[in-house]
């Protein structure tokens, strides 16, 4: 099967390159905040509530949160989960129970890192790294399933792979059928066009 050739291989740690790219696009926020779509988010784009198959917003499962936040030695209290459930209810347009603390947005120009109702407060970039590595592993598995092993192997460790993983990290739906066809056919210009003009029209966060 043909695929893209002559990838731009990265010198050094690949996950660090992915982190640096995503941080440049989204920033690193040391507390849970509401992103532009009012989704509770932490670090570099880690959403704590997601959409299920019917489009309803739900808190990530207790098992998933325990596994993922556990990489940072964080354990959510029931009060923390209630806050996330309230944020999901607000996105779903359903009544929010009274007395639930709200989650503040993040203003990079006037940061307020300690303005958080959650029990664990703030995190550091080194503390976030184990979770980020886990998320990259999960995104890699998803990306391989979408584009196929030959494409993934041909682009492993490259700037092109950083771009594809950043899309998958944000939403697997951004790796669409046209982009997949271009990658598998080895059509670099078509792949660039799809990424530049036909992705991220509407971000969808998936389980």
pLDDT of residue 206: 40
pLDDT of residue 183: 93
Contact 92, 59 (CB under 8 A): no
pLDDT of residue 125: 96
Q: What is the pLDDT of residues 58-107, one digit of tens each?
A: 999 999 999 999 999 999 999 999 999 999 999 999 998 889 999 999 98
- b/e per residue, 12-44, with b = 16+ CB within 10 A? eebeebbbebbeeebebbbbbbbbeeebbbbbb
Structural element, H or E, at residue 84: helix 78-92
Q: What is the pTM of this model?
A: 0.85
Which residues of the chain fall short of a pLDDT of 50?
202-207
Task: Give the bridge partners for 34, in sequence order.
Answer: 40, 105
């Amino acid at each position: 099967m043909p695929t893209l050739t002559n990838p731009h291989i990265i010198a050094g740690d690949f996950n660090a390159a992915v982190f640096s790219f995503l941080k440049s696009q989204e920033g690193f926020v040391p507390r849970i905040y509401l992103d532009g779509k009012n989704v509770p988010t932490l670090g570099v784009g880690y959403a704590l509530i997601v959409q299920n198959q019917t489009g309803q917003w739900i808190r990530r499962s207790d098992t998933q949160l325990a596994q993922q936040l556990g990489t940072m030695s964080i354990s959510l209290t029931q009060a923390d989960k209630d806050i996330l459930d309230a944020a999901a209810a607000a996105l779903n347009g359903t009544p929010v129970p009274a007395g639930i603390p709200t989650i503040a947005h993040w203003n990079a120009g006037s940061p307020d890192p300690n303005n958080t109702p959650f029990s664990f407060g703030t995190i550091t970039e080194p503390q976030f790294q184990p979770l980020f590595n886990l998320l990259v592993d999960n995104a890699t598995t998803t990306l391989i399933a979408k584009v196929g092993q030959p494409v993934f192997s041909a682009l492993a460790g490259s700037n092109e792979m950083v771009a594809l993983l950043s899309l998958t990290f944000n939403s697997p739906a951004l790796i669409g059928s046209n982009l997949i066809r271009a990658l598998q056919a080895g059509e670099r210009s078509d792949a660039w066009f799809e990424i530049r003009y036909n992705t991220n029209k509407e971000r969808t966060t998936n389980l």
